[in-house]
Amino acid sequence: MKILLIDDSKTMRNIQKSVLKQLGYTEIEEACDGQDALSKIGAFNPDLCLVDWNMPIMDGLTFVTTFRQTNKTTPLIMVTTEAEKSRVIEAIKAGVNNYVVKPFTPDLLSERITETLAKCSAGA
């Protein structure tokens, strides 16, 4: 299982990485914004992406919209401080499969990752 973490905060990537490692996922690539992610995604070919919303250069929503033009299936989880219902709806319309609001506990993030992977593999 290959996972791409997209967040401009190294602190947040490290926290997410530690949760993923506890879940047994060790093939992890990191990107610091949407554009960096798009440049790495072809070669890395992830099975799941965790993507922040507010990032410099290219934000998470633009990344999701761009990525979904060519890839409809790879699961995407938005992990963000944007908690308004309108934002969640906007992200889901753009193509995310699940949504985690920061701050989160390790348990909540684990739960959402497991749930997303189960749903997406059942639907595949």
Partner 1 sequence: MDASMISPFVNAIQNVFSTMFQLPVEIGDPRLKTDRKATHDVSGIIGVSGEMVGTIVLSMPMEAAQSIVTLFTGMEFEETSDDFADAVGELVNMISGNAKAEFQRKGVSISCPSVVLGEGHTIAVQSGTPCVLIPCSTDCGEVVLEVALREAEAEVSDDVSAAA
CA–CA distance, 12 with 79 (Å, rounded to integer): 10
| Contact letters for partner 1, residues 79-98 (x by CB under 8 A) | -xxxxxxxx-----------
Nearest distance in Å: CB 66, partner 1: 20
- Give the SS3 label for residue 29: strand
Return the bridge partners of 68, or none.
Answer: none
Q: Is the dihedral of CA 94, 115, 75, 123 positive or negative?
A: negative
Q: Does 9 bind partner 1 (CB under 8 A)?
A: yes
Contact pattern for partner 1 over residues 32 through 71, marking x by CB under 8 A: ----------------------xxx---------------
Interface residue with partner 1, options 5, 15, 61, 77 (CB under 8 A): 15
Rounded (10°) CA dihedral 58, 59, 61, 62: -10
Residues in the site for partner 1, rule: CB under 8 A?
8-12, 14-15, 18, 54-56, 80-87, 101-105
